[in-house]
Structure 1
Amino acid sequence: MAIQAEVLQIATAWIGTPYRHQASTLGIGCDCLGLVRGIWRGLYGTEPEAVPAYQPDWAERSGEERLMAAAARHFLTLSGFAEAIPGDLVLFRFRPGLAAKHAGILTRRSAAQGPPDAFIHAYEQGAVTCSALVPAWRARIAGLYRFPERI
């Protein structure tokens, strides 16, 4: 099974998991980073690095591109959306000038082949869900990454 298919299988299992800041436990709670951490553990057995405690407004307070830097350390960086396929990691920046602070997994709303048109993410004050990748979300894309193949 290709790594992207495994990513999608694991991510789909997380749908419905309640939103919990800093959590990363399937069915119990997670935030968007916790979802990505859980998928990584499902693929590779352990997390790539320890995640320090963080406040909900960490990106606004520090301005540092911590999420993008971590993604660049552990994922393969894609050059643009034309290269993206379902199963890839997408990072979002909510406002220009602020650090990227939201993450999701690209997917499709139907089984048909084609470019991603939706993403699975942990929705604050909600749960892990699949949302349409509407123009407002596309405009906020800050980075695209691919999970590395197992060696």
Structure 2
Amino acid sequence: MTLRQIIEVSARGWIGTPWHHRASCRGAGADCLGLIRGVWRDVIGPEPELLPAYSDDWSKLRHRWGIRNRLASHFTPLAVSMARPGDVILLCISPRSGAEHLAILAQRGDVLTLIHSYQKHGVIEQTYTPSWRRRAMEGFCFPERLS
């Protein structure tokens, strides 16, 4: 399997995990960032940094691109149009709050999907619809494995 396929398999292993703010424990709880952290641990190795406390309301943060800058320090940024299955997608749910949601791009047959943790649904996989595509701001490629 390619690294991208391994990332997809890992992300799908989180489906059904309930949403829980700041958590990253498969089967017990994860928010959207927690899902990305868990897949990183599964596929790449230990997390690259400890995260400070963060709000579940990104609109309260002073620096709207804080999450983007953190991603860019550990992942390779790329135009969202260049993202492929296995990449992380940074999304804007509300124009007022800026970039505040993360998902892993995946594929089922010919259909692109998003695997993400959503507050009322937990970790799910759903079609990468035109509505989601309009909200996509940037893509990020996982690094090669550390071990």
Q: TM-score, normalised by structure 2?
A: 0.91
Q: Which residue of 2 aligns with 1:136?
A: 131
2:113 to 111, 115, 118: 118
Q: Report the counterpart of residue 42 of structure 2 in structure 1.
A: 42
Higher strand proportion (structure 1 or 2) = 2
Query: Quick one: distance in 1 between partners of 2:94 and 2:62?
Result: 12
User: SS of 1:120's equivalent?
Assistant: strand
Question: In angstroms, what is the RMSD of aligned CA positions?
Answer: 1.5
Query: Hey, what's the Cα distance between the residues in 2 that align with 1:87 and 1:26?
Result: 18
- Kindly report which structure 2 residues correspond to 1:1-150, keeping only aligned pairs within 5 A, or say none: 1-57=1-57, 59-64=58-63, 65-81=65-81, 83-96=82-95, 98-110=97-109, 112=110, 117-150=112-145
> Which segment is superposed worse, 64-73 or 30-39?
64-73
Paired-residue identity, %? 39
Shift of 1:63: 4.0
Note the residue ranges of structure 1 that are not aligned, 5 or more in a row.
none
Deviation readout 1:99-122 (Å, 9 max, x if unpaired): 311001001132x4xxx6211000
| Number of corresponding residues | 145
Distance 1:120 1:39 in 2: 11
Structure 2 residue runs without a partner (length 5+): none
- Determine the C-alpha separation between the residues in 2 that align with 1:63 and 1:133: 29
- Which string of whole-angstrom CA distances, capped at 9 and with x for unpartnered residues, describes residues 19-39 of structure 1? 111100011000000000000
Alignment-mate amino acid for residue 129 of structure 1: I
